[in-house]
Amino acid sequence: MRFFSHHRRFEQKTRLSRGGRKYGHLKDAFLERSCSAVQDWLFRIALVSLWFSAGAAGAQPPGTTPTRDVFSQQQDGVDASGLPIRAFMFLSESDNVVLMPGLSWEEFERLSNPDSVVDSNQQLFSFQSLAINGEVDAERFEGQVALSILVAPSQGQWIRIPLQMGNFHRLKPPEVTGIENYFMTLTPDGSGHLLLVKTDQQQELKLRMEVSARVVASTVAKTLEFKLPGAPSRVDLTVGAVGVEGEVLGRGDEVLETKVVSDGGTKFQIESGGGNYLLRWGSSSRTKDDTALLEVESRINVRWDSPQDPLIADFLLTVENVRGSIDSFQLRLPPNAVVLDSLRLGDSGRTIDLGEPVKGRDEEIRDVIIPEAERGSRIDLSFELQLSNDNASESNPLGFHVAEVVGSLRHRGVIAVETGSDYRLRWLSSPWVDRVIGELGEDTVNSGRKYEFRFERASFELPLYLGEKGRQLRMTSNSILDVYDSAANLDMTISINGQVSKGLLQFNDAGWQIREIQDSETGELLDLFEDDDRFLNMRNVGNGDLSQIRILAELQLEPENGDVGFYLPTVTDVDGAARVQKATLDINSTGRSMMVVDLAASVGLTRGVVAGADVSVAKPSTISYQIQTQEKSPKVVGALVAQPPRISLASEAAIELSGNQLRTDVDWTVTSSLDLEGSLFVRIPDASGPATLNENGDPIGSVGQKSLNEEPEAADGAVDSVRVANEPTDPNLNEPWVVSVNGAPAKLRYVAGDRYELISERLAMNRMDITWRRVQDLNAAVGDGAVIAVPLPSPGILDVTIRGSMGVTLRGDQGFDLVSADRQRQKRLDLVTFPRDPLRLKLLSRLTSQEELTVQKTVLRTVVGRNLRHESVYAKVQGGGRFQVGLPSEVADVSVQAFIDGEGKTVRREKDTLVVLLPNDSESHVVDLQVWIARETPASYSNIKPLLRLPFGVGRVYWQIVAPSDGHVLWASPTLGRSMSWRFDRWKLYRQPTHDDVGLLQLVDATSISMPPGNRYLYIGSDLRSFEVVIVSRVVLWVLIGSVVLLAAVVLTNLPKSRHPLTAVVLAVMFGGLLAIAPDAAVLAGQFGIIALVLVIVMIAVRVLVSPATNGRVFSTSVIAADQLRSPSTRSLVPARADEPEVTATEALPEPAPTEVTM
């Protein structure tokens, strides 16, 4: 199928007219070649000018739609030949054929109104009902699913209906009624079945399919899972079992109904809204278990007087059934046990008889039947047994058993064995039974001893026997030795396990002075008497197997050349039966001297575990040793080594200004591992000179000078033991420090220089709180800007550990702020170390002047450098007392100079503000502030704003910008007024400010300062925060504008379409917009553009001279042959038809070849 595209014909005509060829306006006839090449070149320039100024040709104007008569031979969608139009062919600007399919009106409407098209994501179906009917056989479910779905028109698209039911398997093809176009498949994700339908009108379809599913069975129940779509559903499930109960595990709103069918089954009916849930069913009968679960607690008291006597055991059993009441149980007695009395029940005391042995089972098992009136879940049963004993001894011990409840779930209890006073119970270890330590006591009746055991199971055997001759005394000692400079204190704790012979212990004091010996448990003092030897009376310590005594002693040390040696006290039994299992010695060096033990020279000492592994100043030096033997008296040999003071210190200070007084409070928290012995050396710098105000902000006499006759400083830690006749004078005598240690007053004695000695009986070891306070009188003439020297105390010893930083808080009063003079006026100082010199603090006035600051005239100068910015402020001010200028935030490198009326002044920096103090008068003053700020500025492009923030209300501000010589301002903020005029210098334009440097500064009566050379720009404004200009490098301007001119020349030369009047209009509009938005940039662009255009013209002229064109045209891209006929200079604007006789063949337009499209 072929058809002609009228639109293509129109496009071809339009393209030819734009190119100035077939239907376009023909230019004037070319001139004949001139003999001179210069005349030919001038003609070509004139031709170019005429081409840009010529109007459009008589063809259809570009950018307009064709008239109706173009389509006169066509109907809508039908060609003149009667064939329907299926597609249109276009020719793009790059001569490429573009095919556009033809559209019906309905399809065009659908593409034009996408909102009216059916959304594929919109649900076009609705579930009406769902019914499942089936039976369960063993572990398989088989049934039928009936589903009703209402489907909306799909407009030719397939509707996807997810049916889910992923665990249901189809047995036959589904039956779908009510719709014709459908097919069914499974979802790729395994969620279930998927039904796809397509219909042109609303339909209600019916779906039926036979399915099967797996039933999960366990020992107690069966489970069937349902994964249904969200629809009103009903499930009828028949189970071939009677007496089953079901439950539904789902959302909780399902309704379950159970019915018994006539053929011996059970039917479950579930009504729900679909979704996922489980149906679980199982037998409703439960097997009743009447087996009792018994738990037993026993308390057994055993009396054993001698190895030949039998054991008498009194049993108390508490039996509890966790499943109900106790009717009866079986009791297993120990072998050869004899029941001495009837069994007694609880508090009632009712007796019951123990059953006789039954033939065919163990004789020890007896039946216990509880009377009906006494039955309950808990029974208390007590009885007494006699256990046989066949002369138990160490080689043949007695196997002790307890009465056991047969079949009990748990049986545990306590055994208490009491022996005679002449015997001791001995036993061997056995599983499930342990000795109870620390619960021994004395029987006031027979003075026997008790031993307690605890068991966790009743089926055990505990070997027991009594010993009357063999005694074993076990002793453990732990000694703590505190060594001072000239004395030692001993704290010895001895644990004794076993009976002491005759109630006495032999004690050897080894030359120590015994302060006291006491019972550790009761605190009662023990008697110490001498009978050839010294003995300890242990009769009052208790008759238990475990006792503990404490010995406190002291010894005066007499070192010889620093070496010391001494013996340690020992304790032994009278009969020599003592056997020490473990003995330790801990040596603490708490004085100024440390005990260093010589293990080679010592006797009975070996190295132990270092108890004080942390050698910080918060803990004393503790070393542990093991004492090897008690056969010889252990001896300690070593030396006393002097230790310098070592402290840990945390400090916090507060300095507060109150009127004409300055109060200093310092809090120390000192921790020492050694005894400071009541004194601590400190340093306090001298700051007795008065504080005065200097114009430059420097204090005069704020730090006192040391007197010439001051004695040199003594070495750290040295003690001045010799009092000289002429004691040095304390420089802080008139304003002394008040010191307290742990809340008690202390004495501060001046030594020499800046050294002081703090004396207090509470300066010992461990933690101490030291408080310092001093009130300093200020000079009444001190005013704003005065610098005050404040001394702070610091430790005068070498070994000091500072915990954290030393914080100093500065507080002013209503009139002045107290800030640091050396740390950018901070009100809070965190010092890493203690200052050895006084702190320099400055007073800043809080009072504002009654007369507000008036800024009459202001000149702001910005000198832009590559790495430095120089900002200058010249202002004529009156009143206010101070002139403030803001700095950029977080600026570190700043250099400042200030002059008031030509005299140098000190500039104070307060965070991000520079403050210059003004004279307190009503006269006008000239402020000259010079600020240098480290700031990098790009060389190619930079956005310049003033870095200084002037106070509000400055009025008119002259802003002078000194840019580098190769930088030009292209744009300035609209809020700025230009105080410049354009001047013409030979071949270029430049901007000249209305005021030069001298005249500008004369506006504010300021002295001129020489500025570096550069391009100067002057603006006027009042909103300083909106001051902003853009500076661009000359190289960037030339590259940018030259590239644009070269690009335009290339386009005009090689693309004929661009040689159109519209191009000149677009360029003119763009240049006009640039002139309106940024006139400075437009002027500079014009200058550089003219230069670039001249260079382009020269380039074209050189090209023509070197290689002249044969057709005489400058911009011609093709060469016309010599024998080729030229077109006439004039043509008719009316298209000529080839079939008209009055039109010649040379003037008729050739018909374009038809475009063929084969269908």
Q: Which segment, 138-142, 817-821, 1130-1134, is predicted with the most confidence on average?
A: 138-142
pLDDT for 70 equals 54
Q: Distance between CA atoms of 1115 and 981, rounded to whole angstroms?
A: 41
Q: For residue 753, give both structure tokens.
A: 């220089």
Q: Distance between CA atoms of 260 and 254, rounded to whole angstroms?
A: 20
Contact 23, 13 (CB under 8 A): yes
- Worst-scoring range by mean pLDDT, 548-562, 719-733, 994-1008, 1014-1028? 719-733
Q: For residue 483, give both structure tokens.
A: 């060594």
pLDDT for 25 equals 39
Mean pLDDT of 1086-1101: 79
User: For all residues of the chain together, what is the average pLDDT?
Assistant: 77
Q: What is the pLDDT of residues 135-176, one digit of tens each?
A: 998 889 999 999 999 999 988 888 999 999 999 999 999 999
Q: Give yes or no for residue 6 having a pLDDT over 80.
A: no
Mean pLDDT of 767-783: 83
Q: Distance between CA atoms of 852 and 143, rounded to whole angstroms?
A: 99
Please give the sequence-ordered ranges of beta strands (E in DSSP) within 1006-1104, or none if there are none. 1015-1021, 1029-1033
Q: Distance between CA atoms of 217 and 239, rounded to whole angstroms?
A: 13
- Worst-scoring range by mean pLDDT, 83-92, 507-516, 664-673, 734-743? 83-92
Contact 215, 223 (CB under 8 A): yes
Pairing type for strands 635-642 and 646-658 reads: unpaired
Q: Which residue has the higher pLDDT, 642 or 228?
A: 228
For 418, what's the count of Cα atoms within 13 Å in the CB-facing half-sphere?
A: 15
Residue type at 327 in one-letter notation: D
Q: What is the pLDDT of residues 25-46, one digit of tens each?
A: 333 433 344 445 545 665 666 6
- Worst-scoring range by mean pLDDT, 390-399, 657-666, 1081-1090? 1081-1090
Contact 311, 303 (CB under 8 A): yes
pLDDT for 5 equals 41
Q: Which residue has 């702190």 as its token pair?
A: 839
Distances (CA, A) of 1055 to 1043, 1052, 1059: 17, 6, 8
Please give the sequence-ordered ranges of beta strands (E in DSSP) within 71-178, or none if there are none. 87-91, 97-101, 125-137, 140-151, 159-165, 169-170, 175-177
Q: Distance between CA atoms of 324 and 345, rounded to whole angstroms?
A: 18
Give the percent of the chain with pLDDT over 70: 75
Q: Distance between CA atoms of 1016 and 812, rounded to whole angstroms?
A: 47
Contact 381, 317 (CB under 8 A): yes
Mean pLDDT of 944-950: 89
CA angle at residue 454 from 453 to 458, to 5 degrees?
115
pLDDT for 1150 equals 47
- Worst-scoring range by mean pLDDT, 104-118, 139-153, 254-268, 1094-1108? 104-118
Q: Is the pTM of this model over 0.85?
A: no
Residues of the chain with CATH 2.60.40.1730: 125-283, 294-467
pLDDT for 1106 equals 81
Number of residues written out for the chain: 1159
What CATH number does the domain located at 473-642 have? Answer: 2.60.40
**Number of other CB atoms surrounding residue 950 within 10 Å:** 19
Domain covering 125-283: architecture: Sandwich (2.60)
Q: Distance between CA atoms of 970 and 1085, rounded to whole angstroms?
A: 10
Q: For residue 376, give both structure tokens.
A: 């309950």
Q: Give yes or no for residue 389 having a pLDDT over 60.
A: yes
Q: For residue 649, give both structure tokens.
A: 């210190």
Q: Distance between CA atoms of 764 and 671, rounded to whole angstroms?
A: 9
CATH class of 294-467: mainly beta
Give the CATH fold of the 646-704+734-845 domain: Immunoglobulin-like (2.60.40)
**350: three-class secondary structure by DSSP:** strand
Q: Which residue has the higher pLDDT, 89 or 128?
A: 128
pLDDT for 879 equals 77
Q: For residue 920, give both structure tokens.
A: 């307190």
Give the percent of the chain with pLDDT over 90: 21
